[in-house]
Each structure stands twice: as C-alpha cells, then as structure tokens.
Amino acid sequence: MNTENPLLNFTGLPPFSQIKPEHVEPAIDQILNDNRQQLDDLLESCTTPDWHNLVEPIEDMMDRLSAIWSPVSHMNSVMNSDELRDAYNACLEKLSAYYTELGQNEQLFKAYKTLANSPAYAKLDEAQTKVIQNELRDFHLSGIDLSAEEKQRYREIMQQLSRLTSKFGENVLDATQAWSKHITSESDLCGLPDTAIALLKQQAENDNKEGWLLNLEFPSYYPVITYADNRDLRREMYETYVTRASDEGPNAGEWDNSPVMEEILALRHEVAQLLGFNNYAERSIATKMAMSTDQVVQFLQELADKSLPIAKQELDQLTAFATKEHHLKELEAWDIAYYSEKLRQTEYKLSQEEVKPYFPAQQVTEGMFAVVGKLYGISITQKSGIDTWHEDVQFYEIKDSHGHVRGQFFLDLFARANKRGGAWMDECISRKKRNETIQTPVAYLTCNFTPPVGDDPALLTHNEVETLFHEFGHGLHHMLTKIDYTSVSGISGVAWDAVELPSQFMENWCWEREALDLFASHYQTGEKIPDDLYQRMKAAKNFQSAMQMVRQLEFSLFDFRMHRDYDPEKGAQVYALLDEVRQQVAVLQPPSFNRFPHSFSHIFAGGYAAGYYSYKWAEVLSADAFSAFEESHIFDPQTGQRFLQAILEKGGSREPMELFVDFRGREPTIDALLRHSGLAA
C-alpha cells in the first residue's frame, strides 16, 4: 500500500488539508484493484453464500471505496480547480466501468440468487432481505440479462453518461464564473438593500477594484433581479443568467451544453431500451415509489388543474400592478421578481430585507438545533480542531438523550468562487455495524448564502432559513438512521421520490411562532420578531404560491416528458417540448433567448433525471406528515418520536409507503399540501 497517499491511509474523517489532485487517481486505481482481487477470492471461497461470507464483505468493500471517493467528489464541488477537475474526471470512467462490471458479474449474481433461495435467507432480518432484493433488482438494471455484445454497449453508455453529466455541470460552473460586471457609479445600484450593496463592494475589494462588482452567484444575482430600479441592469443580469452554458447570451457558444444535452438524452433512451423499457422515464421509476409513468403525469396534471386558475389570477394582479400603478408598458421576464417584491410590500407591507436582521446565520443554525432537540430528544454541539476544506466550515456532533453519538456533519454555508451553486446534503460516511462497533454516519451540508459583510454577521432571508432547514432534514435522515447495513442505512436505498420527505417536512418549523422564538431575534437589539411582522410574514406566506406551484410543475412535466417521449428519429427537441409544456401548465412565457434547460443541473448533472417530479410527490408526503403535528402540537414529543422511529431511523430498509403508513396510520392524501399552499378552496 502507498503510505504516502493520504487517501489510502486514513480512517474516520477525511484529511482534507492533505488531499492533493495528484493523490486521487493512484488511490482510486489502488482501491479498485484491491476490490477486484478481493471479490475474486471471495467468490472462489464462497461455496454456500450467506450474509457473513458474501454480503457483508461486499458492503465493506463498497464502503471503503465510498470513503475515498466521497471527499474527492465533495472537494470537486466546493473547491473546484483545473487539476482537481482533471483528476476527478479521469476517475469517473474507471468508477463507472467498475460498477457496471459488478452489476454484470454472473458469478456474483448467481451467489446472490443462491442466497435468496436458501434456508439462510429466512433467518435474515427485514433490512437484510431488503438489501438482497435491491441487489437482485439492480443486477437486472445493470444488464445482467443482456448478451455479451449488449453488455459491452451498456458499459460504453454508462461511461459516456458519467463523462457527459460531469461535463454539463462543469459548463454551468464555468459559464457562471466567467461573467462579472464592474459598477463604478452607485446610482446604477439604486433600490438595492444596503446589505447587498455592501456585499458587492466587498466583492470589488476582494478583486482589487474600486466600486462594486456583480457576478452570477445567487447572493449577487438575486438582489439585482429583485430590487434594482435600473431596468437595463436587471435585463442584462437576467439575460446573462438564463443563457449560461448555451448558444445565446454574452458568452454564446463558449460552454454550450446543447450537444451535451442531446447526447445525454439519446444515451439514456438507448440504455433504457437495451434493458427492456420503452423509455428512460420507465427505467427511472423502476426504483421509485410511483407505480407507472401515467400515474406520475396524472399526479402532476391534477396539481396543475388545481393551481392554474389561481396562478392566472396572480399574474393578472401582478401585470395590472406593474402596468397601471407603475406605468410599465409591458411586463417582461426581468420585471417579474422586481414588481412581485413591490407588490408584496404594497399588499403585506413586507420585504425579505425587513426580516433579515432577525436571522443571523449562526443564531438560526443554533435555533434549528434547538428545534430538532425538542422534536427528537437529541443535542448538537460544535467541535473544533477538525480538518476541513475551508476556514468557514464548521463541524458538529449529534448525541441522543442517552449521550450516544448518532452522527456528525460539516456545515459550509457561504457562497464563494470555485464552489458549485445551490444547496445540498451529501454522505461523507455511512452508518454500519461491524463486530458490535457502530460506524458513525457523517454528512456534508452545503449552502450558498451571502457571507458576512464588514463587522455584521451573515444575515439570511427567510427563504434561506427554509433552505437550511431543508438540507438539515436530509442530513437527519442520513445521520439518525438505526439501520446497520450501508446500502439501506440513512438515505441509501430510499426511493428517490420519497427522499425529499424529511427535508421538506423540516421546512414547516420555519413558519411556526413557537419555533421561530427559539432562534429569530434581531442581531443588534436581541428582540424577537414583533407580532405584527410575524402576522405579515404568515399572511404573505402563500403570496404567488400558485405561480410558484405551476413553475415547479413546468420543470417536472418537462423533465418527465422529455425522457418519456424521446424519439431517436427526431432527437431531443428540448425547446419544442418545453414550449408545449408551457402552453399547458405555465402562466409565464419567457423570452425566446431564455435557455433555462442548459443549466438545469438537477436533471442533466444530478440524480433527478425523469425524477424532478419527486419534489412535488414528496411534498404531498411531507405536508401530510406535518399535519400529524398540527393535530397534536408542533413540538409534541410522542409524534416526534413516532416520526423519528418510523421514518428517519428506518432509512431504506422498507418501502416508503409502508413506513409512511406506519407513521400516519393511512396512505397520504393531497389535501394537506393544497391547504398549506393556500390552494385548497
């Protein structure tokens, strides 16, 4: 073993400060070689397969590979550099080849089948049998039934897809980072809140410039599109943002994702057909809660039918407000956020800026810990002296009421250069049990909030507070698991359309007075949110909620139909289909230069292909789950324990519908979601 390579000789938490790009490929090569050799030895000696001589050693091999790849993949997202990117991409193909090889290993498949049909199988617990059922299903989804020639083609496709999806994300990151605008006259920024202007000034100083510097990171883009009185500036930023990585806009053609999207969709369709599905949407739901593609489309259509009439009314109200009261000739895409904010202020006397002083980031974080402490009887403390990838990163530990460590997590809150946009939770280490020892699960929680400016703490909008709670919900699902087998512990093995349940569920506490009082207080005076402000926040909660709903339905239907209706003769026809979906469910028709799909990383670079509907699907589950607390009390410890035990602790060890029924006593209904969204009438 290479003792010089930190990726090969650490146990526990990754040694981030020691990991260099040149360590990555040798470490992956070494671990893949080791794993292949170990598997050969295992299959040779394993004459009567059981849990301990087959499944457990394979889980251990996969866990070791994951432990090495996880910090590399994470650093590629949060500390991207040319060298790391090259090393990461070089390994993607090797990993893809390795996973396909495992999924097509006849001898291994036979061993699992033998185990599933043996007397030993009957003695396994529920989670263990789920592991084996998932494995057998995944062998078929990896092409175990194909001819030698088809298997080879499957391997090629999977490698190409891993390369292309990575390329898609890189193009978006590069296009986002390529644009900036130097402002020398403060009058150009008229309307922007002081906090935003201070951030833009800080960005200019960091770049050794006088004045103010705009970029396409969300903390810079959002204030301009929402508050800037300068309409030309709003248009310029909007156009640059919605044409990233495309054939339009200021960097047209430079990081164009058009051919990448075309190829991804063609390959997904081909691989689905190779496996015996009609299209990739069918392949996608083979591992999800939804039973058929028709069920998904009908579900989205039902929500659209309930939302569209109200969304049209909301848009009519906004248009009248902008054109009649503000004498705008025509409401354009770059006016929507600006006049919506003005309308919100007029209707509810409320702006996001007014609530920000009550949400200093550190205080919100600690308050969130207090909320889950009351719900689940856990305590969370910060630990110092932990090796991280950036000085802003904090590290925490979760203990239960008996003082047992249940999980740990890294928290990386602020936007910066070379960090992928958005917010996400990812696994660093998964829970497993070996020789009576529990491996503590560890998570990464990543956001892109506005960093502290000057001497003030970082202040969050209420939307950002919801984002933090959302990602922490995912984190709790990963960390509070009590399942001891890595492939179904935490979020592993959870159907993708149920995986958003714990995250969306957590958002509800951001709206409850009793929860807010645990963490929302003015960073200068310490006063709690005044009742008048809270009532205005509640009143404005569903402001334009139907417009937001149809926007999400547009993304979901577009994604699902693009994968379901793909025709190799015609190609992707991305924009023709998007227009068709918009005619059906959208109230806003963006300008012709809008290239939103070119940066739709969720479906082209993330795990949401033909699965973006999962957000809405799981929102039905989460709204219904939260209504159990509304029926008792939002901090009812019994209901909290039931949710902890039925959902969070069970991971992917059982089907999500069974777990939901265990918690709720019945299957979910759509009613709570419509009520929470103000669409019930």
Active site residues: 471
Structure tokens at 133: 């059922």
Main-chain dihedrals φ then ψ at residue 63, nearest 5 degrees: -65, -40
10 Å CB burial of residue 82 (0-12, 13-18, 19+) is: exposed
Nearest to 193, CA basis, from 467, 497, 461: 461
Nearest to 296, CA basis, from 611, 604, 581: 611
Do the beta carbons of residue 553 and residue 303 sit within 8 Å? yes
3-state DSSP of 495-555: CCCCCCHHHHHHHHHHHCHHHHCCCCECCCCCCECCHHHHHHHHHHCCCCHHHHHHHHHHH
Could you list the beta-strand ranges (E) of 580-650: none
Structure tokens at 109: 């498949």
Distance between start and end Cα atoms, the chain? 66
Whole-number Å distance between alpha carbons of 263 and 495? 26
Ranges of H-type helices in 228-257: 231-242
3 state SS of 469: helix
Do the beta carbons of residue 648 and residue 477 sit within 8 Å? yes
3 state SS of 4: coil
Nearest to 481, CA basis, from 618, 626, 370, 647: 647
The letter for the amino acid at 11 is T
